[in-house]
Protein backbone atom coordinates (compact mmCIF):
# COMPACT_ATOMS: atom_id res chain seq x y z
CA UNK A 1 0.00 0.00 0.00
CA UNK A 2 2.84 2.37 0.80
CA UNK A 3 4.43 1.79 -2.60
CA UNK A 4 1.09 2.36 -4.36
CA UNK A 5 0.53 5.58 -2.39
CA UNK A 6 4.03 6.76 -3.29
CA UNK A 7 3.37 6.18 -7.01
CA UNK A 8 0.07 8.09 -6.85
CA UNK A 9 1.77 11.01 -5.11
CA UNK A 10 4.60 11.07 -7.67
CA UNK A 11 2.08 11.21 -10.50
CA UNK A 12 0.14 14.07 -8.88
CA UNK A 13 3.06 16.09 -7.48
CA UNK A 14 6.63 16.75 -8.40
CA UNK A 15 8.49 14.74 -5.77
CA UNK A 16 11.04 12.06 -5.24
CA UNK A 17 11.38 9.28 -2.72
CA UNK A 18 14.58 9.20 -0.70
CA UNK A 19 13.84 5.94 1.11
CA UNK A 20 13.39 5.39 4.81
CA UNK A 21 13.62 8.57 6.87
CA UNK A 22 16.77 8.88 9.01
CA UNK A 23 16.80 12.63 9.75
CA UNK A 24 13.93 15.11 9.92
CA UNK A 25 14.38 18.74 10.97
CA UNK A 26 17.36 17.84 13.15
CA UNK A 27 15.72 14.79 14.68
CA UNK A 28 17.34 11.44 14.10
CA UNK A 29 14.84 8.69 13.35
CA UNK A 30 15.37 4.97 13.90
CA UNK A 31 12.60 2.75 12.58
CA UNK A 32 12.23 -0.94 13.34
CA UNK A 33 9.36 -3.37 13.20
CA UNK A 34 8.87 -2.68 16.94
CA UNK A 35 8.46 1.09 16.64
CA UNK A 36 10.09 4.44 16.03
CA UNK A 37 12.78 6.10 18.15
CA UNK A 38 13.36 9.87 17.85
CA UNK A 39 16.58 11.23 19.28
CA UNK A 40 19.13 14.03 18.83
CA UNK A 41 22.48 12.46 19.68
CA UNK A 42 24.27 14.26 16.85
CA UNK A 43 22.89 17.61 17.97
CA UNK A 44 23.91 16.98 21.58
CA UNK A 45 27.46 16.15 20.49
CA UNK A 46 27.59 19.26 18.28
CA UNK A 47 26.28 21.51 21.09
CA UNK A 48 28.77 20.12 23.62
CA UNK A 49 31.60 20.66 21.15
CA UNK A 50 30.41 24.18 20.23
CA UNK A 51 30.32 25.28 23.88
CA UNK A 52 33.55 23.40 24.70
CA UNK A 53 31.88 21.07 27.20
CA UNK A 54 32.99 17.70 25.80
CA UNK A 55 35.76 17.29 28.41
CA UNK A 56 33.69 18.38 31.45
CA UNK A 57 32.63 15.72 33.93
CA UNK A 58 29.01 14.55 33.51
CA UNK A 59 26.16 15.44 35.90
CA UNK A 60 23.55 12.95 37.10
CA UNK A 61 20.60 15.36 36.82
CA UNK A 62 19.89 18.46 34.71
CA UNK A 63 18.88 20.45 37.79
CA UNK A 64 19.61 19.97 41.47
CA UNK A 65 16.62 19.01 43.59
CA UNK A 66 16.79 22.09 45.80
CA UNK A 67 17.71 24.52 43.05
CA UNK A 68 17.65 28.21 43.83
CA UNK A 69 17.15 29.69 40.39
CA UNK A 70 15.68 33.14 40.91
CA UNK A 71 16.12 36.71 39.68
CA UNK A 72 17.53 37.57 43.10
CA UNK A 73 20.59 35.31 42.84
CA UNK A 74 23.80 37.11 43.73
CA UNK A 75 26.68 37.03 41.29
CA UNK A 76 28.49 38.94 38.61
CA UNK A 77 26.93 39.35 35.19
CA UNK A 78 27.87 36.99 32.36
CA UNK A 79 27.92 37.40 28.59
CA UNK A 80 24.26 37.70 27.58
CA UNK A 81 24.95 36.57 24.02
CA UNK A 82 26.65 33.36 25.15
CA UNK A 83 23.90 32.62 27.69
CA UNK A 84 21.19 33.13 25.06
CA UNK A 85 23.06 30.96 22.56
CA UNK A 86 23.22 28.10 25.07
CA UNK A 87 19.54 28.49 25.99
CA UNK A 88 18.56 28.53 22.30
CA UNK A 89 20.53 25.35 21.64
CA UNK A 90 18.99 23.64 24.66
CA UNK A 91 15.47 24.72 23.63
CA UNK A 92 16.08 23.05 20.28
CA UNK A 93 16.89 19.79 22.07
CA UNK A 94 13.62 19.79 24.03
CA UNK A 95 11.88 18.44 20.91
CA UNK A 96 13.03 14.96 21.91
CA UNK A 97 14.48 15.55 25.38
CA UNK A 98 11.60 16.18 27.74
CA UNK A 99 13.91 15.40 30.66
CA UNK A 100 15.58 18.81 30.31
CA UNK A 101 12.42 20.83 29.61
CA UNK A 102 11.84 22.17 33.14
CA UNK A 103 15.48 23.12 33.74
CA UNK A 104 15.85 24.82 30.35
CA UNK A 105 12.58 26.76 30.72
CA UNK A 106 13.55 27.93 34.21
CA UNK A 107 16.90 29.18 32.90
CA UNK A 108 15.25 30.84 29.90
CA UNK A 109 13.49 33.27 32.24
CA UNK A 110 16.81 34.98 32.97
CA UNK A 111 18.10 35.65 29.45
CA UNK A 112 17.75 39.41 29.89
CA UNK A 113 19.99 39.59 32.94
CA UNK A 114 21.96 36.36 33.50
CA UNK A 115 24.60 36.09 36.19
CA UNK A 116 27.21 33.52 37.19
CA UNK A 117 24.66 31.50 39.19
CA UNK A 118 22.38 31.16 36.14
CA UNK A 119 25.36 30.17 33.96
CA UNK A 120 26.32 27.44 36.46
CA UNK A 121 22.83 25.95 36.17
CA UNK A 122 22.99 26.03 32.36
CA UNK A 123 26.42 24.39 32.52
CA UNK A 124 24.96 21.63 34.69
CA UNK A 125 22.33 20.93 32.02
CA UNK A 126 25.09 20.62 29.41
CA UNK A 127 27.04 18.30 31.71
CA UNK A 128 23.90 16.17 32.17
CA UNK A 129 23.52 15.91 28.39
CA UNK A 130 27.06 14.61 28.11
CA UNK A 131 26.11 11.43 29.98
CA UNK A 132 22.64 11.02 28.42
CA UNK A 133 23.31 11.71 24.74
CA UNK A 134 21.31 8.78 23.40
CA UNK A 135 18.02 9.43 25.22
CA UNK A 136 14.99 10.18 23.09
CA UNK A 137 11.33 9.40 22.47
CA UNK A 138 10.19 5.83 21.82
CA UNK A 139 6.92 5.19 19.96
CA UNK A 140 6.15 1.45 19.95
CA UNK A 141 3.88 -0.02 17.32
CA UNK A 142 2.67 -3.10 19.20
CA UNK A 143 -0.63 -3.41 21.03
CA UNK A 144 1.07 -4.14 24.36
CA UNK A 145 1.53 -0.45 25.03
CA UNK A 146 1.23 0.25 28.76
CA UNK A 147 1.46 3.81 30.06
CA UNK A 148 2.55 4.77 33.55
CA UNK A 149 2.21 8.41 34.58
CA UNK A 150 3.72 10.28 37.52
CA UNK A 151 2.94 13.80 38.67
CA UNK A 152 4.68 16.03 41.18
CA UNK A 153 3.79 19.52 42.27
CA UNK A 154 4.69 21.98 44.98
CA UNK A 155 2.73 24.92 46.29
CA UNK A 156 4.47 28.24 45.79
CA UNK A 157 7.72 26.64 44.65
CA UNK A 158 8.64 29.07 41.87
CA UNK A 159 11.32 31.43 43.21
CA UNK A 160 10.38 34.15 40.74
CA UNK A 161 6.68 34.65 41.37
CA UNK A 162 5.91 32.04 44.07
CA UNK A 163 3.34 30.26 41.92
CA UNK A 164 2.85 26.52 42.11
CA UNK A 165 5.11 24.48 39.86
CA UNK A 166 4.54 20.95 38.71
CA UNK A 167 6.06 18.27 36.57
CA UNK A 168 4.81 15.13 34.94
CA UNK A 169 6.39 12.17 33.26
CA UNK A 170 4.67 9.51 31.18
CA UNK A 171 6.50 6.25 30.56
CA UNK A 172 5.75 3.06 28.71
CA UNK A 173 7.04 -0.43 29.33
CA UNK A 174 8.36 -0.93 25.79
CA UNK A 175 12.05 -1.00 24.98
CA UNK A 176 13.65 1.62 22.72
CA UNK A 177 14.73 0.68 19.25
CA UNK A 178 18.38 0.05 18.56
CA UNK A 179 19.73 1.96 15.59
CA UNK A 180 20.88 -0.35 12.88
CA UNK A 181 23.31 0.39 10.08
CA UNK A 182 22.07 -0.40 6.60
pLDDT (tens digit per residue) in 41-88 = 999 999 999 999 999 999 999 988 777 777 767 788 899 999 999 999
The count of structural domains within the chain is 1
Task: Dump the DSSP string for 14-42.
Answer: ------S--EETTEEEEEETTEEEEE-HH
Whether 181 is in a domain gets the answer: no
Whether 179 is in a domain gets the answer: no
Whether 82 is in a domain gets the answer: yes
Under the banding of pLDDT at 50, 70 and 90, the label for residue 182 is: very low
Whether 180 is in a domain gets the answer: no
pLDDT at 181 over 70: no
Residue 113: its pLDDT value, please? 87
Whether 60 is in a domain gets the answer: yes
Residue 149: domain span: 2-172
Q: How far is the C-alpha of 174 from the C-alpha of 171, rounded, in Å?
A: 9
Q: How far is the C-alpha of 166 from the C-alpha of 34, rounded, in Å?
A: 32
Whether 182 is in a domain gets the answer: no
Whether 94 is in a domain gets the answer: yes
Amino acid sequence: MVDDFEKVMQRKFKMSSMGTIKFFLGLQVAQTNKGIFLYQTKSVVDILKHFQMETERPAKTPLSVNHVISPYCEGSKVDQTLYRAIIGSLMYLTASRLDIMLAVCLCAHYQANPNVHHMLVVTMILRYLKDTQSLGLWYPCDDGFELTAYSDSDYGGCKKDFKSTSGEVVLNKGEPAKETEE
